[in-house]
Structure 1
Amino acid sequence: MQDDLRIALYQPDIAGNTGTILRLAACLGLGVDIIEPAGFDLSDRALKRAGMDYIEMAALTRHVDWAAFEEKRNADGRRLVLLSTRAATVYTRFIFEKGDTLLFGRESAGVPDHVHESADARLLIPMKNGARSLNVAVSAAMVAGEAIRQIG
């Protein structure tokens, strides 16, 4: 695995995006954490269609809620790196480390304040003025790619 780099999805809303991220992670050797409840059944057809046959290859861990995820993350000593439109640090100016967990919020609402405050770092993908947000799977690919490049 890419030095145990992980992607975490906070209560994802869209099965197709989650499937795409699972496929990305399987191909790049990254782990994925899904923090429930998800906005869809994890056996959803759209999830399987987007992930194709890579879902079985993905190192997926499901967490019943935020508290369970945090308990596991803290026990493992992982740094939590949140991607947020409310952040100030651009992701390409951040120094990623082995073992980082890249956290992405819900497509519809991001993450609540208590999750935002729990992050060790908050990063921004800069966008053109007037643009609201990127697709979460695109964001995950961009940031995971930069983290992998840095970690080597």
Structure 2
Amino acid sequence: MDPILWIIDFHDYAVKHYSDRRTDNYFLMSSYWNVLAIVIAYLYFVKSLGPKLMENRKPLNLKSILIAYNLMQVVCCTCLFIVGTIYIMPYINIFCTPFDFSQSFHSNVTSKLMHYFFILKLVDLLDTIFFVLKKNNRQITTL
């Protein structure tokens, strides 16, 4: 148990001393426990609860929900790409770009775009949940 406590203490120290303070008020960024809880709940649903709930039920018809979900994903990813291309690409090079902790417009846009990308990755978890609800278990892999 001691190594686990050391890892938690080290992580808390790193977050306290090296994290970007501008992101403290961003959704789900005040603590890593929020994201950890989401991932644990997701894994529990996908691996255990979801298949048990759907065991004796017909697959759900999610066609209209999936169309809306996929359209939302395409629009959001396209917006992130366009804004990122306009506001971030001119300021970076392919080798190494140090992170800018200043309050400049460019730095704030970069920070917000990275946060939106993070939120989209959490929303991507819905893909697997939809597979469970549609009983497409062959499409669910560990990866």
TM-score, structure 1 length as denominator? 0.21
Whose strand fraction is larger, Structure 1's or Structure 2's? 1
Whose helix fraction is larger, Structure 1's or Structure 2's? 2
Q: Does 1 or 2 have the higher relative contact order (CA < 8 Å, sep 6+)?
A: 2
Q: Over alpha carbons, which structure has the higher Rg?
A: 2
TM-score, structure 2 length as denominator? 0.22
